[in-house]
Amino acid sequence: MRSKTSRFENPTPRVTRKQILNVRIDPALRSEFALAARAENRTVTEALRELIHAYVAAARQRQFAAEARRQSRLIAGSPDESEVMRWMQDVSTGNSE
């Protein structure tokens, strides 16, 4: 019996290759980092991944906050309340710029 997926669909998820990141770091700092990771029962790689995930999440939060400030200034600068209400309606329904 033939599968119900089209010939263009892949029924099994595609495994993406991991990328290698080479970083130059002071040997003393690397040793301290390894000790700190080991003290928390983590490998250096696990600790670095955790740091990278945290950095990316913080960057997204900063971008979100910057956009919220931009939109707040945009709304605050409009003297026409009905214009602001229309804009808020557009944003809530996904019709914004």
Residue 59 in contact with residue 53, Cβ under 8 Å?
Answer: no
Closest to 19 in 3D by CA, of 55, 41, 58, 45: 45
Entry pTM: 0.59
Instruction: Spell out the domain ranges in the chain.
Output: 27-93
The C-alpha atoms of residue 87 and residue 1 are separated, in whole angstroms, by 53
| pLDDT tens digit sequence for 31-80 | 999 999 999 999 999 999 999 999 999 999 999 999 888 888 777 777 77
